[in-house]
Amino acid sequence: ASTGDTAAATRFSVRLTACPATLLSADMRFDGPADAIDNRLLAVSGGAAGVAVGIFENDSTTLIPVRSRSASVSLSTGNAGTLEFVAKYMATGAPSLIVAGDANATSQFTISYN
């Protein structure tokens, strides 16, 4: 793997329901320990090295850097919406620096309503 290569794309979503009618949209911010080499990514624990976890928009190509907000989703009729994302492992170093092992990341999130 070369720096920036990704693997194990995993889709996930957060469904918002029964939102107040005055709110038109929502977005999400992901926080957590940033990777020491690439601070846009979440650091991993568990033994693996040379990789981190990136959170991407639903298009699977637009990276949402740690401590940044995602694109907004409209809260449609019924005052609901779904924020959709993709998490991927991303190589952060040269192939010789990548070490196999468990690679777990933790993130807290904040939903902002507009």
* pLDDT band at residue 94 using 50, 70 and 90 as cut-offs: confident
* pLDDT band at residue 42 using 50, 70 and 90 as cut-offs: very high
Are residues 34 and 97 in contact, defined by beta-carbon separation less than 8 angstroms?
A: no
**Matching residue, tokens 């019924």:** 78
* pLDDT band at residue 97 using 50, 70 and 90 as cut-offs: confident
Structure pTM? 0.91
3-state secondary structure of 61: coil
CATH code assigned to 6-97: 2.60.40.1090
User: Would you list the domain boundaries of the chain?
Assistant: 6-97
Burial of 109 (0-12, 13-18, 19+ CB in 10 A): middle
Residues forming a β-bridge with 16? 81
